[in-house]
Amino acid sequence: MFSGCSVSSLAAKFTFFPPDPPTYSVKKDDSGRLVASGVPRDHSMDVLLLDTKHGTKLVAFYLKNPCARLTVLYSHGNAADLGQLYDLFVQLKVNLRVNLMGYDYSGYGASTGKPSEYNTYADIEAVYQCLQTEYGVGQEDLILYGQSVGSGPTLHLAAHLPRLRGVVLHSAILSGLRVVCHVKFSFCFDIYKNIDKIKKVKCPVFVIHGTEDDVVNWLHGHGLWKLAEEPYDPLWIKGGGHCNLELYPDYIRHLCKFIQEMENLTTATRLKKIRQTLKLPAKAVATTSTTTFTTNCCCQIRCRKPNCWSCPRRGCLMVRCSKGSAYLCNWCCGDWH
């Protein structure tokens, strides 16, 4: 009889397949800057070596786009490393007009350590911390992208970031155990229990899945979309498999649309959603001033009458609107309040 821990370890053994040998290596050039051999030399890309709380060193690529308003943190699928994904990253950076951070999990590519569920959680946390401290990227300007097994660390982080801009789930899994067998309940030894974590995500979730995926059944993507608190219109690619969705024109077209809509989310809209989530009372918001004539003023001048929620009364002339300050209305009458 297997214990829960041994079953979890066994599941991890059959979950992670890092390319062997890695498709790239990392070294310092003559100026002391980290560069990746095996990929084109790109002066708009930073090669980073990051420390995780589990003591491993991760390799990450940060691709800069001067036109970007948002940043994508990309968690890749299985049996791939950054060397294989570089061309895709460049395509996404250019077509989506975003900055893009991609990283290799512990044990993948030139990253040290061994791959495991909890190591990938520490991995993505280290990358997110780097985005905050080194590049000044807050969660409000961040979109998390998880492909296949990368949906695990993606939803782990997304569940802890209430002000995240958005999430993309590409060929994602409901859980590790559900990939190999149909179960209706979550077990303690299961890995990447996305079916539970998706309910904690408080931002728009865009799901992409191929209808002919023979590795992770389409029902996984559909299930995550149905469970999302704020589901975005999904993309079901007819005939798409597990590793070829980027080849379909609808892929980049719908992804561009999603990114554009996330860019257009206003602060007021986001605050409203946060208040609804936290069940806070709605707060009145200042509206645009309107031009009007004063009706009880002998000067009969045309003036702008501000509509400010913080002022208890209105007047034909507003000197100041701040707590503790007097303001003057009905100038000709000399009526102070």
Exposed/middle/buried for residue 154 (C-beta within 10 Å: 0-12, 13-18, 19+): buried
Residue for token pair 């040998």: 21
Contact of 97 with 65, CB cutoff 8 Å: yes
What's the CA gap between 35 and 82, in Å, rounded?
13
Is the sign of the CA dihedral 88, 94, 97, 100 positive or negative? positive
Radius of gyration for the alpha carbons in the chain, expressed in angstroms and rounded: 26
Residue for token pair 């990051």: 50
Contact of 42 with 83, CB cutoff 8 Å: no
Amino acid sitting at position 183? V
What's the CA gap between 119 and 105, in Å, rounded?
8
What's the CA gap between 147 and 220, in Å, rounded?
13
Nearest to 40 by CA among 85, 4, 75, 81: 85
Q: Which region, left, alpha or beta, applies to residue 119 given φ > 0 means left and ψ of -120 to 50 means alpha?
A: alpha
Contact of 334 with 316, CB cutoff 8 Å: no
C-alpha angle 275-280-283 in degrees, rounded to nearest 5: 80
Nearest to 111 by CA among 156, 155, 76: 76
Nearest to 42 by CA among 19, 24, 20: 24
The first and second tokens of residue 174, run together, are 């409901």
- Tell me the catalytic residues: 148, 213, 242
